[in-house]
Amino acid sequence: MKTENAIQNKSYSFALRIVKLYKFLCEEKREFTLSKQIVRSGTSIGANVEEGIGAFSKKDFRYKLSIAYKETRETKFWIKLLRDSDYIEEKLAGSLLKDCEELLKILGAILVTTSKPGKKHS
């Protein structure tokens, strides 16, 4: 049986939350510009994690996870902008930002660990 992969699970769950946020923004708030940005960056995190897991080399693995890291930072920006422009409530923004911070910590740790000589990804 395959072991649980924290970053894979968290990035997927986060992407699902972002898709639901996108639907809310489009259907309830009639906001279409910022919502497209956040759905693109927020779902890209998990997609790049998946690509990294399937990578054939350590270099490609690190590259894909570094993209996921940058997409997480971009998603933080969009969440803050949506909060500060009153499209989403503080409570929701806080929860999403907390998820972003958790993803950044995990991705950052993976990137540091895999930059050390002799380490392989799993």
Task: Answer yes or no: are the C-beta atoms of 16 and 78 closer than 8 Å.
Answer: no
Cα distance between residue 33 and residue 53, in whole Å? 31
In Å, what is the CA distance from 28 to each residue of 5, 74, 90? 34, 24, 17
Q: What is the pLDDT of residues 81-119, one digit of tens each?
A: 999 999 999 999 999 999 999 999 999 999 999 998 765
pTM of structure: 0.91
Q: What is the pLDDT of residues 46-91, one digit of tens each?
A: 999 999 999 999 999 999 999 999 999 999 999 999 999 999 999 9
Q: What is the pLDDT of residues 3-61, one digit of tens each?
A: 579 999 999 999 999 999 999 999 999 999 999 999 999 999 999 999 999 999 999 99
- Largest distance between two CA atoms of the chain: 51
Structure tokens, 19: 């898709």
Structure tokens, 29: 């708030």
- Per-domain residue ranges of the chain: 7-114
Q: What is the DSSP string of 36-87?
A: HHHHHHHHHHHHHHHHHHT-SSHHHHHHHHHHHHHHHHHHHHHHHHHHHTTS
Please tell us whether the domain made up of 7-114 is placed in CATH 3.40.50.300: no
